[in-house]
Amino acid sequence: MRIKKIYPVILIFTIIMGFGYYANAGELVNPQLGAAYFKLSDGTKSISLTLSARVNDKRVNIENAPISVYAVNESEKILLGTVNTNWKGKAVLNVTPDAVIPKDKEGYFTFDIQYAGNSNVNKKSVSIHVRDVFMSMSFIEKDSIKTVKVKVHAFDEKGVKGAVREIPVEFYVKRLFCLYRFGGEKTDSSGLCIAEFPVNMPGDTTGTVIVVAKILENDTYGTVETVQNFSGGKQLIIEPKPKRGLGDTDAPLWMVYTLLVLLSGVWLHVIYVISLVVRINLVGKKAARQSQAA
């Protein structure tokens, strides 16, 4: 009787779960579209993109999703390119320095980034609003003190070149797997900032190091960097490894004598054992002949 009473409850529960499943299946997922602007040392403008979503309280990367990047101003809209996200939900669009990108009246670039969506994910769009900025690097060495100078300037809406003041600049040396920070300053009224280069910074065999100066995630200019080689590092001296062997004449005399004594002892034991074998053989033959004669 109890089993018969449980059947309707199970049936109602199954129907409710089924309605909930179909209701959730019909809802589109709202994605999260992220974008960051980088200007590389060679003038390439790089836009880094990420696309993800929250599904069942878990962050899911959306892969193989086409994202289009447009440059827009008051009168035109130009498609700069379309890239697909990888398995991490990331993509990068690089715009070459010779590409013509329209600016608005205030001299800003506006990048309109759009994801068109699909049958499961809603469409999404974001925009980046940045000004173009330029960095130049030089090196000075005086009285054994080495300094790195970076000058930052930009063009206003009239095309007039002007210094960028009070903007933080970080200084790094590029190492094998990371960037080593050795200074950080703000530009002065002339757009100049100076950092002292480390005295004992190791370089390659010629003392050359790669110095990187960066403006990090600025609200107006984004992330901008300049890179240049500097021959002010400490030279790396590679000493040839000595070739070692038993016959090397560079070994200490005590080591040579010890080796000779040990090897002599080994060979004396070998000769002694061989002589014993020969004597045993001779004695055995002699005893055999005596037994036959008797």
DSSP class of 200: T
| Closest residue by Cα to residue 165 from 227, 121, 215, 209 | 215
CB-facing half-sphere around the CA of 224: CA atoms within 13 A: 23
Domain count, the chain: 2
Strand partners, 277: none
Same domain, 178 and 191: yes
Q: 107: domain range?
A: 28-131
Q: 22-36, 50-64, 69-83, 280-294: lowest mean pLDDT where?
A: 22-36
Q: What is the mean pLDDT of the chain?
A: 86
pLDDT tens for each residue of 231-247: 888 888 887 776 666 55
Same domain, 72 and 138: no
266 falls within a domain: no
pLDDT tens for each residue of 267-276: 999 999 999 8
Same domain, 121 and 189: no
Query: Is 125 a residue whose pLDDT tops 70?
Result: yes
Are 213 and 171 contacting, i.e. CB atoms less than 8 angstroms apart? yes
Query: Is 12 a residue whose pLDDT tops 50?
Result: no
Are 180 and 173 contacting, i.e. CB atoms less than 8 angstroms apart? yes
Terminal alpha carbon distance of the chain: 113
99 falls within a domain: yes
CA angle 228, 96, 108 (to 5 degrees): 95
pTM of the model: 0.69
pLDDT score, position 176 = 86
Same domain, 95 and 166: no
CA angle 213, 218, 220 (to 5 degrees): 120
Same domain, 113 and 89: yes
Give CA–CA dist 255/167, Å, rounded.
66
Give CA–CA dist 206/199, Å, rounded.
15
